[in-house]
Structure 1
Amino acid sequence: MINNTPPLTPVIVAIVLAGMTIPASTMADDCGAPATAIHQVQGSGDRSHLAGEQVTVEGILTLDSRHKGGFRGFYLQQADGDTDNNPLTSEALFIHTGHRAGQPGHRIRVRGRVKEFHSLTELTDVDYLQDCGPSRLPEPVSVELPWPDGPSSPEALENMRVRILQPLTVIDSYHLARYGELTLAAAPQPVPTEVLPPGPEAYRLEQQQQQQRLVLDDNHGVRHPVPVPWPAPALSMANTVRTGDTVSGLEGVLDFRFGAWRLQPAVTPEFHSTHPRPTVPSRDPDVTLRVITLNLENYFNGDGRGGDFPTARGAATVAQFQRQTRRLVAALSAPDPDVIAVAEVENDGDGEHSAVASLARALGPEWRHVRGGESAGNDAIRTALLYRRDRVATVGAPSRLTSSVFARQGRPPLAQILRPLDRPQGVRIIVPHLKSKACRGAIGPDRDQQDGQGCFSHSRERAARALVDWARSFSDTSTVAGTLITGDLNSYAREAPVDVLREAGFRSLIHRFYPCSADHCPQTTFRYKGRKGSLDYALASDTLVPRVVHAQAWAINAEEPAALDYRQRTTASEPWRASDHNPLIIDFAL
C-alpha cells in the first residue's frame, strides 16, 4: 500500500507494509539521516556481503528504467562528495521497484533488501522511497576498452555513470532487432581458429575476446522493439549499421545483465560509417571466367508453383520467397559472373519446379543449372552449379561424390568441367558443403574438443580427405586448366579440414590476396557471435593458381544486420543481406 504525504519539501513516498499511515520509524529515514553507503553494499568482490539484508541508502537517481518495457527500476549512485575513493568498490546500485517517485537528477532515499540478481547487485522489496529534491548528477567515470585488469575492471563500475573515451567498433548486430542491442569492442575480433591453430591458445583467445566487449543496450527489456533503436532514429535499409562501423559519444550507466556488460545510454551515441557498403567489384578485361560462390541461406521454393509455404527451411511465405529471390538475383547478377556455385539450395531435384531451376529462371534466360541432383543425398539441402550458356559450356557429365564418408551422411559434393566458349581450356569446379559446427547428434570424436573447432571437426576432416582423393581420381587432359574446390567448408582457415586441403596442394585464393592476422583480417565471409572469419573457400590446384587474376569476398551480407533480411517487409531489390554469408568472386584468365 502506498501513502503519499506531500509536505512542502521534500516530497515523500512511504511504502507501508501494513496500515494506512506512515510509521513513526520512517522519521529516522528523512533525507540526510545516517544511511548505509552504497559502496559498502557493493563491496570489493563479485557479490555483496550484505546480500539478503535490509538497508537504507541515499544517492542520486542517474537513469530511470520504470517506463513501459523498461527494467522496472532505476539506477542510484552515491553523490560525488560521499564516495570512498576506493577504486575497488562501485558507488551505484540498481533499485528494483515500480513505484514512481523520483526522477533523474534528484537525490533519493530508499530502503530495501540487497539481492544479487544474475550477478547484478540491486535493492529489491523496496518498502520506503523518498524524493529529496534536485541534486547534481555524479560525474561519469572516463574509461577505455579493452577493459584493464585490476581496480579499473568493470565490476568496480557496476551501475555507475561512465563515459567511453574512444570510438568503439560494432562487432555484432545479431540481437539488434530482437532486443535492441549492438555488441561493441575496441577493435574487430577474428575467430581464433582463423588466425591460430586449434588448441589451448585459440580457446584462451576466445575467452579473452568475450570479456573485452560492451553491449550498447536501449534501456528496455522487451523483445522486438519498434522501432529498432540503432542507429537513431531507427534502423532501415537506408539507415543501417554494419559490423566494422564505429560508435562514439558513448555515455550512460554501465550495467550487467544476461552475462554481459552493457551501456544503458544517457545520451544518443553517434554512428560513423567507417565500413561502408562496398561497390560492385569491377571485372578486369583480361578475365575470361568469373566464378561466384555463395551460401544461399536456405533457398527453398515451396512446390515451385507459388504454394506449399511455409517450407521446411527458408521463406515462410511466398512473399518472403519472392523477396529472397530478388535479393539473391541482385547479389549474384551485379558482378557479372559466368558461373555460380551455391550451397544451401533445396534438395528437390533438377526438374522444372525445383529450387535451383527457379533460381536459374530468376537470373535470366541465358542461365542454366548443372543437372547433378539425382544423387544429391538425403539431406534437406545440397550444392549446385549454374552457368551462362551464352558464355560457358559444360564439358563431360557432372558427378557427385557418393562414396566414403558421403555414402551415408553429409551432402555429396558436385563436380563439373566448365569451359568459356571462346577458350580451349576449362576448369573442373567441385562444390562441397561440409557438416556444420552445431553439436546436435555429436558423439565420440565429433564432440566439441574445446580446441576452437566446435563439433563435428572429425567428420569434416574425414570429408576433406575424401575430397582430396576424389579430386585426384579425375583424369585431366590439356583441356582442363586445373581444379577449383569452392564452397562452404564450415571450417576456419587454421582448422584441420583446411589444413588437409592445403597440404594436398590446394591454395586458398582469398587468403592469398588478403592474408589474415589477429590484428588485420580484411576479407572474410561469415560472422558468428561477434567474431569474423571465413567458412567459404575458393581453393585452387597448383596448376590453376597461375591462371588466377584475382579473388575477393564481397562484403554485402555478413556485415549487415539480420534485421534487414528478406523476412522483413521491404520491397528493396538490392544485394544487401541477401544471405548470411558473403559471396566470393574468383577471376581467371584461361
Structure 2
Amino acid sequence: MTRISARTLALALAGATAASLAVVPQATAAPSNTLPVINEVYGGGGNNGSVYSNDFIELYNPTATAVSLDGWSVSYYSSSGNLGGTTTLSGSIAPGSYYLIQQSAGANATGALPTPDATGTLTMSGTNGAVELKNGSGEVVDLIGFGSANKFEGAATAATSNPVSAQRITAGVDTDNNFVDFQVATPTPTASGTTQNPEDPEDPEDPVVPGTITPIAEIQGTGAETPLAGQLVTTEGVVTAVYAEGGFNGYYLQTAGTGTAEKTAGQASDGIFVYVGSNGSYPAVGDSLTVTGTAAEYYGMTQLSGTTFAPAAAPLAPVTPLALDTVPAGDDIREAYEGMLLQPTGAHTVTNNYGLNTYGEIALAPGTEPLYQATDVVAPGQAAIDYEAANAAKEITLDDGRSGNYTRGDKTIPMPWIVQDGGSTVKAIRAGDQVDFQAPVIFDSRYDLWKFQPTTPVTGNATAAQLPITWEDSRATELASIDAVAGEYHIASFNVLNYFTSLGMNEEGCEAYTDINGTPVTANNCDVRGAYTAEALADQQSKIVDAINRLDVDVLGLEEIENTATVTGDITRRDEALNTLVDALNAAAGTERWAAVESPTQLGTDEDYIRVAFIYDKTTVKPVGESRIFDDPAFTGTARQPLAQEFQPLDETKESFVGVVNHFKSKGSVANGDADTGDGQGNNANIRVAQAQALIDHLENQDDWASKPVFILGDTNSYSKEASMTTLYGAGFSNIAEQFNAGQSYQFDGRIGSLDHALGNAEAMDNVVDAEVWDINADESIAFEYSRRLNNTTDVFAADPFRSSDHDPIKVGFNLESVDAPVVPGDDSDDSDDEDNATGSSPSRTVWAVIAAILAAIGFALPFLKF
C-alpha cells in the first residue's frame, strides 16, 4: 500500500502546539511545489538493525516538467550544525518522479538499494542531523532537520533510528515545516522512473485515528518494542521526571492515577519517555499534559520523538510511586515497568562502581550481597553460564539522570554520589555497601541496561537530602578489620598496581594520560607502565606505603613491581624499584623495619617489565639462603616467573616456612591461540593450567622444602573454581581464604571474586589460624586511585590506603611449631613428649625430619614422605 497520509492531523497538531517549539527557520524555499524537494532521508545504512546497507537521500519532483540537476548538491550536517560533506548532482529529474542518491555503506550488508541516480560518500547519523538541497546557484531549495538537529524548517521532525527513515507524509508536499511534512517510518528508497511510492508492507494496517488519545500502555505495548513504531500519536498523563540538562533532553509521562498495583509479565507499562531534543521547552514534575509525538524505540527504550505538549484540558489524577521490594528479575516482567515511577523498599547492595566517576553509574544487586563471579562459586561450563545468566537478570544500574562523562565533556561538573555539596563533602560508596531509597525513582532501559533514574539529574552539587539513596560509609570498619587477624606470624600478598620508579617523562616517545588541566599523570604506550611524573609517583607511593605499613605482616609478596633490569637493560638494577619502595616504607614507619629479598643469581628467561618480589619484617624473620626463580617454558614470554623464598623466624626455636609469590597469565589478550571458549574462564585458561602445573613441579623438586609449611601467594588470574586452581588443589594445596571465609579480592564488570589467593600445603594448614581479605581496593571507586587524580573538577585524592591498587591484599595468620634438638643415640634424657603434646607440637614429625635430613646428607632421599 502507499504511505499513510496524516497531513491533516499534522497540520492541526502544529497549529495547536507550535507555541511550545523553538522555531528556527533555515530555508527560504516557498511551499509552492515549483521545485524538487527532499523526499526521504535515511542514515541507518549498514548499522545493526538496519534495512539497507547504505545511507540515502531521495528527491522528488512535484512539478509538471523535468528539472535539470546539473550543479545542484545535497549536504549533510550533524545535529550541532557541523558540515559532514556535500554530494554534487547531475542529470535531470522527470516530472512526478524520484531521484535516489546513494551514500556511504555501514558495516552490515543488510540490503541493496535500487539502482541509484547518483552516488556520494556522506556518512550520516542514524538518529539526528540535517540535509540541505541547493540549486546550481548555491541557493537553498529545501532542508530537513530530524531528531535534535539545530537546522530545520519550522520544527525538526522526529529522530530516526536504524530501521526507519524520515520521509514525507505526502510525496512532494512541502509546507516549510519539517515536523508537519515528515514522518518516521520504514524506508522506501525510490529511484528515477517511478511515479508513485512503492508498497510498504511494514506500514501499520490499523494506524492511530487522528485526534484521539492513545493510552501510554497502548504505545508501550506488551512486548519489547512499541507496536506503533513510526506512527504519530497523541497521549496524556502526569509528568513524573524532568531532565532539562545533562543530555537526556526529555521527561517521563505516566498515565493518571496509576502506580497502585504491581504488574505481571505480559502487561504493558503506564510510563513513557518523551524526547524533547536540545531546542525544546520542558514541563514541570506533576504537570498534567497532552503530548503528541512519533512512537519509536531508542536503544531498547520506547519513547515519543518530535514531540509537542500542551496542558491537559483538566488536572489529571496524580501518579502514585509504586512500592516494590525490588523490580523482579527478567526482561519480560521488567518491560511491564519500563518508564514508571517506583519506590524500592527492599535492600539493594552495590555490586559495581567502576562507572561512577565517568557516567555516574552504580550497579545494584537486589538483596544484601553483591553479585559474584560465576567461576568463583561454581565450576566452569554450563553451571557458570547459568549462574551468570541469573546474575544478569537481577542487576539494576542506579544512574544519575544524565548522559555526560564527568572525566571528559562534563569534567567541570562535580561527579555525583561520592561528591556532595559542590565538592565540600566526599563520601565513598563501596562494592558491598547497602543502599536504601529515600525517594522514588524512574525505572527505565537505556543502552540495554535496566536502570533506576532519579527524577531530576544528580551531580556532585546535590546535597545528601537531594539524593534518592542513603548509605553508611564502611571505610572505618574495613580499616580496623585487618588488625584483628589472629596468629603469631602473618604473611600476605599485595598487587602494587604497576609501581615503577622509572618515569614516563624520562622515556623517549612515552605518551601520557593527563588530568583535566592537561598535566601528565600516568605513562601511556611505552615500556614504563606507572607514573609519568615524580609528583604522580609520590601520590602512588603514598597510598601503597600507607597500605603496606597498616597491613602489618612479617612477609609480603608483591606483584606488578617494576623489573628495572628489563626496563633499562641493566641487570644490576633489577631490584632498584623494590629497594626504593622499601626505603619509603621505612621512612614512613620511622624505623628500619623492612628489607627486600634480593634477586637470585639465576634469573628468569625473557622476563617481563613487571615482576614479583618479597619484602619482610627484619625484626621478626630473615631469609634462609638465596631466593629461587622457577624459570619454566610455561611462563616464558607469557607471564611472570614465580619467586620462592624460605624464611626463618628470628626466634630460632620456631620452624622455618616457605613463600612462593606468583602472577599468572591474565584473562586479557590471547596468547598462543588460547582464546575464550565461553565456559566462564576467559582467555588463556589452558596456559594458566600449565603454569599451575609448572609451579607444582618446581616445588616438588625442592627437596629441602619437602617437610616445610609452604604458602602459595599472589595473582593467579583465576577465580576459585577454575581449572588452574583445581590443579593446585589436586596437588595438596588448600584455599585459605575459602576455608576461613575471608572474602573476595577483586571486582570486575559488576561481579565480585578472587583472582588473588593464598594457599597452603598440609604442613601450612596445620598452622594457619586466621585469614582476611582486606577490602581497601577492589571495592573502591577508581576515582580515588592516583591515576585518576583530578580527572574531574573535584580532587578526591587522599594519601590513605584506599584504592592503592585494584586488587585487595590477603593476610594470613599462622603459628609455628617449636623445633626440637636432634635426638642423640643412646641419650634417654629426652622426656619432652608430654610437654610437646600438651603444647600442640609434633615430636614424631620432627624426628622424621631429622632422619630425612641425615639420609639426604649421605645420598638418600625419601620422596614418598610429605612432612
TM-score by length of 2: 0.60
- The match for 1:155 is 335
1:97 to 259, 271, 276: 276
Structure-2 change in CA distance of 1:434 and 1:477 (3 Å): closer
Q: CA RMSD in A?
A: 3.1
Corresponding residue for 1:583?
809
Q: Find 1:70's aligned residue among 236, 247, 253.
A: 247
Structure 1 window deviating more from structure 2 (223-232 vs 38-47): it is 223-232
Q: Which runs of structure 2 are paired with 1:102-141 in the superposition (5 Å)? A: 102-126=283-307, 128-132=308-312, 135-141=316-322
Partner of 2:429: 241
CA-to-aligned-CA distance 1:188-244 (integer Å, 9 cap, x gap):
211111111111011111111012111111111100153221156268895111111
Matched, 1:314 2:530: yes
Question: Of 598, 603, 609, which residue of structure 2 is paired with 1:371?
Answer: 598
The CA distance in 1 between the partners of 2:629 and 2:358, in whole Å, is 40
Change (3 A) 1:57 1:84: farther
CA distance in 2 between partners of 1:458 and 1:489 (Å) = 13
Confirm or deny that 1:556 pairs with 2:776: yes
| 2:449 is aligned with 1:222 | no
1:432 maps to amino acid: N
Counterpart-to-counterpart distance in 2, 1:44 and 1:283: 55
The 8 Å contact of residues 648 and 655 in structure 2, kept in 1 or not, is answered as yes
Quote the residue 1:26 is aligned against: none
Which residue identity lines up with residue 416 of structure 2 in the other structure? P
What is the one-letter code of the residue matched to 2:238? I
Shift of 1:566: 1.7
Structure 2 CA distance for aligned equivalents of residues 443 and 80 of structure 1: 62
Say yes or no: does 1:336 pair with 2:552: yes
Partner of 1:13: 20
Which residue identity lines up with residue 264 of structure 1 in the other structure?
Answer: Q
| Partner of residue 398 from structure 1, selected from 627, 631, 639 | 627
Deviation of 1:76 after TM superposition, in Å, equals: 1.5
* Structure 2 residue identity aligned to 1:105: G
2:231 pairs with one of 34, 50, 53: 53
Q: Is the 8 A contact 1:252 1:263 kept in 2?
A: yes
Alpha-carbon distance in structure 2 between the residues aligned to 1:405 and 1:425: 32
Please show how residues 444-455 of structure 1 align to structure 2 within 5 Å. 444=673, 446-455=674-683
The separation in 1 between residues aligned to 2:615 and 2:258, in whole angstroms, is: 71
Aligned counterpart in structure 2 of residue 441 of structure 1, from 646, 662, 670? 670
- Distance in 2, Cα, partners of 1:286 & 1:91: 60
Question: Does the residue aligned with 2:703 lie in a helix, a strand or coil?
Answer: coil
Distance of 1:86 and 1:285 partners within structure 2: 51
- State yes or no: 1:264 paired with 2:493: no
In 2, are the aligned partners of 1:295 and 1:343 still within 8 Å (CA)?
A: yes
Cα displacement string for residues 244-269 of structure 1 (whole angstroms, at most 9, x for unaligned residues): 11111251211111221111113622
Q: 1:13 to 1:427 in 2, by over 3 A?
A: same
Aligned to 1:253: 442
Q: Is the 8 A contact 1:105 1:134 kept in 2?
A: no
User: Relative to structure 1, is the Cα distance of residues 369 and 236 closer, same or farther in structure 2, using a 3 angstrom cutoff?
Assistant: farther
Task: Tell me, in whole angstroms, the C-alpha distance in 2 between the residues paired with 1:524 and 1:86.
Answer: 37
User: Are the structure 2 counterparts of residues 375 and 477 from structure 1 closer, same or farther at C-alpha, using a change threshold of 3 Å?
Assistant: closer
> SS of 1:80's equivalent?
coil
- Partners of 1:86 and 1:70 lie apart in 2 by 30
Deviation digits for residues 416-447 of structure 1, max 9, x if unmatched? 11212222532221111011111x23564x22
Residue 384 of structure 2 corresponds to which residue in structure 1?
202
Alpha-carbon distance change, 529 to 559 in structure 1, aligned in 2, over 3 angstroms: same
For 1:509, the aligned partner's letter is I
CA contact (8 A) 2:785 2:797 kept: no
Determine if the alignment matches structure 1 residue 182 to structure 2 residue 362: yes
Q: Which whole-Å deviations, capped at 9, do the CAs of 1:340-393 have from their partners, x for residues lacking one?
A: 101111221373883212211111143222222743743221111112333322
Q: How many residues align?
A: 561
Match of 2:562 in 1: 346
How big is each residue's C-alpha offset from its partner over 1:124-183, in whole Å with a ceiling of 9 and x where there is no partner?
123x332348655411222233615587x1111111111112131111110001111111
DSSP 3-state at the match of 2:762: coil
- CA shift, 1:73, in A, is 1.2
Q: Provide the C-alpha distance between the structure 2 equivalents of 1:571 and 1:110, rounded to a whole number of angstroms.
A: 47
Pair 1:355-2:542 in alignment: no
Whole-angstrom distance in 2 between the partners of 1:345 and 1:213: 36
Q: Which residue in 2 is equivalent to 1:384? A: 613
- Secondary structure of the corresponding residue to residue 210 of structure 1: helix
Deviation per CA, 1:449-500: give whole Å up to 9, x if none.
211111111110111001100111101269x732111110111111111101
2:352 aligned to 163, 172, 178, which one? Answer: 172
Q: Does 1:295 align with 2:295?
A: no
In structure 2, C-alpha distance between the alignment counterparts of 1:388 and 1:241, rounded to whole Å: 34
Report the Cα offset of residue 292 of structure 1: 2.1
Give the residue type in structure 1 aligned to 2:433: D
The one-letter code of the counterpart of 1:356 is L
Paired with 2:580 and 2:796, the residues of 1 have a C-alpha distance of 21
The one-letter code sitting in structure 2 at the alignment partner of 1:459 is I
Question: Which deviations, in whole Å up to 9, do the C-alpha atoms of 1:325-346 show, x marking residues without a partner?
Answer: 1111111111322211011112
Match of 1:29 in 2: none
**Structure-1-length-normalised TM-score:** 0.87
1:426 aligns with 2:660: no
What's the CA shift for 1:403?
A: 1.9
Q: Secondary structure in 2 aligned to 1:405?
A: coil
> Aligned partner of 1:550: which letter?
D
Distance of aligned partners of 1:316 and 1:498 in 2 relative to their CA distance in 1, 3 Å threshold = same
Q: 1:285 to 1:584 in 2, by over 3 A?
A: closer
Which residue of structure 1 lines up, in the alignment, with residue 541 of structure 2? 325
Structure 1 distance, partners of 2:619, 2:735, is 29
Query: Aligned-pair distance for 1:13?
Result: 2.2
Structure-2 separation of matches of 1:82 and 1:12 = 32
Larger-gyration structure (1/2): 2
Contact 2:362–2:398 (8 Å) recurs in 1 = yes
Distance 1:398 1:10, change over 3 A: closer
Question: 2:236 & 2:573 partners in 1: Cα distance?
Answer: 73
Q: 1:340 to 1:236 in 2, by over 3 A?
A: farther
Contact 2:219 2:226 in 1 (8 A): yes
In 1, the alpha carbon distance for the partners of 2:683 and 2:814 equals 35
SS in 2 for 1:293: strand
Alignment partner of 1:34: what SS?
Answer: coil
Whose RCO is larger (CA < 8 A, sep 6+)?
Answer: 1
- Unaligned ranges ≥5, structure 2: 1-10, 24-153, 156-174, 181-209, 456-465, 508-520, 566-571, 587-591, 790-794, 817-867
Measured in 2, the distance between the counterparts of 1:237 and 1:388 equals: 38
What's the CA shift for 1:501? 0.6
Shift of 1:512: 1.5
Tell whether the 8 Å contact from 2:482 to 2:551 is kept in structure 1 after alignment.
yes
Contact 1:185–1:212 at 8 Å: present in 2 too?
yes
The amino acid across from 1:293 in the alignment is S
Cα distance, 1:143–1:285 mapped onto 2, change above 3 Å: closer
Aligned counterpart, 1:282: 483
1:398-417, CA deviations, whole angstroms, 9 ceiling, x for partnerless residues? 12122231234321111111
**Per-residue deviation at 1:523?**
0.8
Q: Comparing 572-581 with 131-140, which one deviates more in the overlay?
A: 131-140
Separation in structure 1 between the aligned mates of residue 812 and residue 262 of structure 2, nearest angstrom = 59
Contact 1:39-1:84 within 8 A present in 2 as well: no
